[in-house]
Copies of this chain bind each other. A is one copy, B any other.
């Protein structure tokens, strides 16, 4: 008889023999220890450690329907995920909360639309107990995929996708009050005597961008120009393009509120290129208060949101939802924004 590596991997039976208990007892200990005396649990755990037994998760999943893993799905390509500090910071909060609950973080990102089928198979395949999804766009198939897979989900950002009602239930989400945040930014510029205030919006198929645009419009006085809006894509390059467009349309604008710090850094570069002094000629306010806001010349006045804490809350909500967290009934969370004043406005 030939031996392969598989043959020498310790089995449930080997653990049972070593601990002097039944196969079923070992199985119960592996799956949480319900109805097994502490002394017996201890003996089984010792046998598991001695033999280096690793329970087969696929088999275990069929029994417990719990994998101990959670997917984080970011509806953006790898290049965005790794260049936008928003995602890193959100992931930091998520990662800490999941680690504290001994739950494995499994990161998936969406390179292009062809990936959705494969991501759906993975999410529906019993590899994870739930998913955190963020940066969704209004026509995103992910909520439908999660519903089809019957997978508990918590969203980052207020949902606002097409056909939302047809998916049933009240989606759980964590968001900041983007509309109130935008009002703070515009109020600050008005208080500083600015009147021709432009807005660089985020992609308007995302609710955060829509809500910030609404807040900007809420706060503008009736006699101020209301058409100084250009759409960006939350990247520095998008901010540059939008700022160039706005300067062409309105050379005498005296302030700009960008819907993200990264777009504001692009706007700053474009203003410099067109010999506008910041804040003397044009005041600039960003949104997010991430690290880049402190690196720019001049540093950015911006609307602060605690992105890491929002990540932590998303993870905590999901753990509660899948029964791995506290007993508080989960509900959407909306955090208040805060204006941070630096030199740019």
Contact = CB atoms under 8 A, between A and B. Distances in A.
B99 A115 contact: yes
A150 B112 CA distance: 32
B55 A58 contact: no
A111 interface: yes
Interface in A289-336: none
Nearest to A92: B78
Interface string A44-88: 000000001011111111100001110000000011001101011
**Size category, A interface:** 35 or more
Copies in the complex: 2
Interface stretch (A35-43, A119-127, A278-286): A119-127
A107 interface: yes
B57 A127 contact: yes
A14 interface: no
Interface string A120-151: 11101111000000000000000000001110
Interface in A1-31: 5-6, 9
Interface of A: 5-6, 9, 52, 54-62, 67-69, 78-79, 82-83, 85, 87-88, 91-92, 95-96, 99, 102-109, 111-112, 114-115, 118-122, 124-127, 148-150
Given A56-B125, A78-B92, 5 more contacts: A55-B121, A58-B127, A69-B122, A79-B92, A104-B121
